[in-house]
Structure 1
Amino acid sequence: MTNRSTAMAGLSWADIWGRRLDRHGLSAPMRDGRPADAVAAMCGAHAQVLSAAEVSIGLRVVGLTRNDVRYALWEERSLVKTFGPRGTVHLLPTHELPLWTGALGALPSSSNSMPADARLTPEQTHEVVAAIAEALADTELTVDELTAAVATRTGPWATDPVVPGFGSMRPRWQQAIHLAAHRGVLCFGPNRGRKVTYTSPRRWLPGFRPTPAADALAGLVRRYLHAYGPATPQQFAQWLSAPRRWAAELFDSLADQLQQVEVAGAVAWVLAGDTAPAPVPAHGVRLLPYFDAYTVGCHPRERLFPAAAAQRALSGGQAGNYPVLLVDGTVAGIWHQRRSGRKLDITVELLTTLTIDEHRELADQVKRIGEILESEPRLTMGKIAVGGHL
C-alpha cells in the first residue's frame, strides 16, 4: 500500500495550479534554458504538429524561437523525435531516451483491434522489430524504403496491405512501428523533402541502450508526479494509455517513494515529501498550442476545463484538439492561427471576461508566439469556426 505513515497533507486547487504552472515553466519562462530542459520539464512535447511543439517549447524558455528547437533536434541532437506516450509522436530529451524506452518498452501489450488474419503474431512482431533495427542501424530510410528493407529480411508477408490508414491500406509490418520505437530501435530522422524518414536512436546517442524496466518505470512515475501531481494511478494510466490495474500496482510497488495527499476531499499522490504549496499563486494568461503537454497531462478534466470550457475546448472528452487560452492555470478560451507568408493572424475566442491587465498579458502572448514562429502576429477577438484537430 502507498505510504500512510504520516498525517495526510492537503493541497488546495490554487496551490496545485500554481505548482504545475511553475514546474512547466509557464508561470515564468526559464532563463538560460535549452529546448531539452523545457521538454524534460513537461515530460515530452507532443509533436504530431511540429510547429505546435515549437510553440510549446518556446513559451517555456526566454527568447527561444522555432529555429532553436530545430537546431536542437536536427543539428545538436539534444532532442529526439520518436513515438512517446500513447504511441503519439513526441520530442524527448535525447539524454532521457534510455529511461523513456526502458519504461515504454515495459508497458503491457495493448489489445489489437485488427482482424485475426491481419495481425502480426508475436513471432512476426519480434522478427519485424529485429529487421527494423538492422535496416536503420547506420542510415535514414523513408517508409517505402523501410518497407522494402523489412520485407527483404522477413518475407513478403510483411508487406501485405492490411493496416487501414488515411484512406489507404498500409503494410502489415507497420503494426510494429510504435513498438520498435518503444524498444529503442527506431526514431525519426530529418525529412527528405516532404517525406518522413526513420533512423536508429543510436545515431543520436552512441552507446544507447534502454534502462532496465523497473528503474525506468520508477523514474517515469517520479517525473510525471513532479510535473502533473497530485495525480492518481488512473490518471497516470490515461497519460500513458496503459491499463489502470497495472498502474495501480506500479504505484503500490513504489510505496516508499510516494505519498498521498488530500485535495478537496479526494486522495491523490505526490512524491514523498513534495507537499509544499506553490512558490507563487497561479497567475497569468497563456496561449497553449495544439496538444500542449500541460493541457493533455493535467487532471481532473472538470477542473482544468471548467463550465463552458468543457463543452468548447474538449473533443469527446479528449484534451489537446484545440489550442487553449489559460487564465491562472485553467482553460478560459480557445484560439486559432492562420499564417500567410510572414503574417500570422491569431483569433481568440473568450469563454470568460478578462481584466484590463489580462488583456495586456494576452497581447504579450500573441507577440511572443510571433517571435517564436518568426512572424508578424495580429490579434483578433471573436468566434472561431474551425473545428478541432483530428
Structure 2
Amino acid sequence: MDTVEASAARNHRLRAHHLDGRVLLGRVEEVVGACGVQNSPPGAWETALWNRVENCTLGAIREALYERKSLLQAWSYRGAPVVFPTDQSDVFLGSLIARAGEGPWIYTSGITGALDHLQMPFDDLFNRTKAAVGYLDGHTVRSKEALDATIAELIERDLPSDRKARWRDPSMYGDPERQTVGQAAVSFLLRPCSFSSLVVFGERQESSPTFTSFENWIGHAPDRIPDADRELVRRFVHCYGPTTLDSLRAWLGSSRKQARRLWEAASEEMEPVRFEGKTCFALSSDRESLLDASDCTARLLLLGVHDPYLDLRDRNVILQDRSLQKLVWKYVGNPGAILDGGKVVGIWKTKAIKGKIDVSMTLWDDTPHVKRKQLVALAEQYAAFRSLELRNFQLG
C-alpha cells in the first residue's frame, strides 16, 4: 500500500481545483465542473473563479450563468446553492436523489417539528410539495421568502380542512410574524425538489435571487448522464483524495446508506493508500499525481468564503492548528482564507460601502516582506474585479 505525504496531497488538490495556475476563460465550465462551486454567501462563486480564471471579469462569468446558461445554480450537495455546468446537472442534482430506505438528508432532518405539528408523514408532504413546485414550469418567483409563501399557498388549497389551520400556524423555526409552519416545511423540502430539477435559481435581481424550474430556465429537460452517481463520487475523490466514505457523506449531507451506495458505485476505480496515519482511498488514475514529490507553483491566494478547496474534511492537511481552524471554519460568518503553497496562513475580510471596499488581513506567522507586498497587490486586484475602489487596507 502506497503512502501519500501531506505535501503531495496538497499539490495534487491544488491541481485538481485549478489553483496551480489560472486557466483561460474558455475553460470556465471545466473549472466549475471539477466539484461544483458553492455560492453562499451570494457572490462566493465569483471569487472562486477570480482565483482560477485568467482575466476573469464579473461580466464574462455572469454571462455564462445568466445569458449563455452554460452554467447553472441550484441547491445541490448539503442543500447548498451550487454553481455547476448546465449539461452536468444529472451529476450535481439527479445523482443526489435518495432511494427508498436510505434515510433523510441532514438538511431535512429539522423538519420533524413541523411534521409533528401538522400530523403529516414526510413522504406525503414531500409529494405535495413536488406537485406544487410544478407551478415554476411557467413562472419565476423573486426571493426565497416569496417562493416559500407561494408554494405553501398552493399546497394549502388541497390540504384536508383539519390540516389547514395547523398549516397557517406561526412557525417554530423562523420569525413567527413572517413565517408559517407550512412555509417552514416547504423551505426544508425545496432542497430535495431541486434534485429533480423542479426548482433552480434564475437571474439575480438586485439583492434578491429568483427561482424557476430547470425546463423553464433552460428550455428543455436536463440531459441524462449514464452513471451520474459514479461521476459525482469520482469528482469528489479526485478533488479531495486521499479520502474516506465518511468524508463523502459529510460533503454530500446524505445518510450513511446513501453515501455508501454512491461510494460503491465508484469503488472499482479507487485503491487504498496510507494517508495521515490511516487507510484512505484515491482514484487509481490519480496515483502518479499523489505520489509526485515536486511542488506546484507556490501561489499566494485570497480564497473566498466556502471556496471548494476549503471544503475538505481533513482540515489539518492545510491548517494543523485546531484553534486557528476555528477562525477559518465557523458556523456562520466565515472569513476568506489566505493560502500560501496550499496551506492556510491567515484570514481576510472585506466590507463594501458605496462603491468602495475595505480589506483587512490577519497573518499568523512571520511572512516575508515581498509576500506582504503581494497581498496588497492582490487586494487591489480583487477590488478592481469587484469594480470597487480600495479605500482601506489593513495587514496584521
Q: Would you say same fold, with TM above 0.5?
A: yes
Q: Secondary structure at the match of 2:246?
A: helix
| 1:160 corresponds to which of 160, 168, 176 | 168
Kept in 2: contact 1:338–1:346 (CA 8 A): yes
User: For 1:161 and 1:202, how far apart are their aligned partners in 2?
Assistant: 33
| 2:10 corresponds to which of 9, 17, 26 | 17
Tell me the amino acid that sits aligned with residue 303 of structure 1.
V
- 1:290 matches 2:305: yes
| 1:362 corresponds to which of 365, 370, 375 | 375
Tell me the amino acid that sits aligned with residue 160 of structure 1.
R
User: How many Å apart are 1:185 and its aligned residue?
Assistant: 0.7
Q: 2:215 aligns to what?
A: 202
- 1:306 matches 2:320: yes
Kept in 2: contact 1:259–1:273 (CA 8 A): no
User: How many Å apart are 1:220 and its aligned residue?
Assistant: 0.3
* 1:8-61 Cα shifts (integer Å, max 9, x gaps): 2232111111111122121211124444332112x1211122222211122110
Q: 1:351 aligns to what?
A: 364
User: How many Å apart are 1:257 and its aligned residue?
Assistant: 1.5
Query: 1:154/1:81 Cα in 2 relative to 1: closer, same or farther (>3 Å)?
Result: farther
Tell me the amino acid that sits aligned with residue 112 of structure 1.
S
- 1:137 matches 2:137: yes
Q: Secondary structure at the match of 2:273?
A: strand
- 1:254 matches 2:266: yes
User: For 1:195 and 1:322, how far apart are their aligned partners in 2?
Assistant: 22
Q: 1:4 aligns to what?
A: none
Gaps of 5+ in 2: none
Query: 1:161/1:56 Cα in 2 relative to 1: closer, same or farther (>3 Å)?
Result: farther
Greater Cα offset, 13-22 or 258-267: 258-267
Q: 1:69 aligns to what?
A: 61
Q: Secondary structure at the match of 2:218?
A: coil
- 1:374 matches 2:387: yes
Q: 2:246 aligns to what?
A: 234
User: For 1:61 and 1:265, how far apart are their aligned partners in 2?
Assistant: 35
Q: Secondary structure at the match of 1:207?
A: coil
User: For 2:24 and 2:372, how far apart are their aligned partners in 1?
Assistant: 24
Q: 1:386 aligns to what?
A: none
User: For 1:100 and 1:220, how far apart are their aligned partners in 2?
Assistant: 7
Q: Secondary structure at the match of 2:358?
A: strand
| 1:190 corresponds to which of 189, 203, 207 | 203
Query: 1:34/1:372 Cα in 2 relative to 1: closer, same or farther (>3 Å)?
Result: farther
Kept in 1: contact 2:318–2:344 (CA 8 A): yes
Q: 2:188 aligns to what?
A: 175
Tell me the amino acid that sits aligned with residue 347 of structure 1.
S
User: For 1:370 and 1:178, how far apart are their aligned partners in 2?
Assistant: 33
Instruction: Work out the number of aligned pairs and report it.
Output: 369
Query: 1:173/1:252 Cα in 2 relative to 1: closer, same or farther (>3 Å)?
Result: closer
User: How many Å apart are 1:268 and its aligned residue?
Assistant: 1.3
User: For 1:358 and 1:194, how far apart are their aligned partners in 2?
Assistant: 35
Tell me the amino acid that sits aligned with residue 287 of structure 1.
L
Tell me the amino acid that sits aligned with residue 301 of structure 1.
R
Tell me the amino acid that sits aligned with residue 301 of structure 2.
R
User: For 2:244 and 2:316, how far apart are their aligned partners in 1?
Assistant: 15
Kept in 2: contact 1:284–1:361 (CA 8 A): no
* 1:151-179 Cα shifts (integer Å, max 9, x gaps): 44667857534654542334243331111
Query: 1:160/1:291 Cα in 2 relative to 1: closer, same or farther (>3 Å)?
Result: same
Kept in 2: contact 1:306–1:330 (CA 8 A): no
User: For 2:362 and 2:207, how far apart are their aligned partners in 1?
Assistant: 33
User: For 1:258 and 1:139, how far apart are their aligned partners in 2?
Assistant: 44
Query: 1:239/1:88 Cα in 2 relative to 1: closer, same or farther (>3 Å)?
Result: same
* 1:266-302 Cα shifts (integer Å, max 9, x gaps): 2211112321136751422111111111112x23122
Runs of 4+ in 1 over 6 A off after TM superposition: none
User: For 1:77 and 1:299, how far apart are their aligned partners in 2?
Assistant: 31
Greater Cα offset, 74-83 or 138-147: 138-147
Kept in 2: contact 1:335–1:349 (CA 8 A): yes
Kept in 2: contact 1:131–1:153 (CA 8 A): no
Kept in 2: contact 1:237–1:243 (CA 8 A): yes
Kept in 1: contact 2:136–2:216 (CA 8 A): no
User: For 1:363 and 1:195, how far apart are their aligned partners in 2?
Assistant: 32
Kept in 2: contact 1:33–1:61 (CA 8 A): no
Tell me the amino acid that sits aligned with residue 377 of structure 2.
D
Kept in 2: contact 1:101–1:183 (CA 8 A): yes
Is the helix fraction higher in 1 or 2? 2
Kept in 1: contact 2:11–2:295 (CA 8 A): yes
Query: 1:152/1:165 Cα in 2 relative to 1: closer, same or farther (>3 Å)?
Result: same
Q: 2:129 aligns to what?
A: 128
Q: Secondary structure at the match of 1:275?
A: helix
Gaps of 5+ in 1: 1-7, 383-390
User: How many Å apart are 1:195 and its aligned residue?
Assistant: 4.2
* % identical equivalent positions: 21
Greater Cα offset, 56-65 or 271-280: 271-280
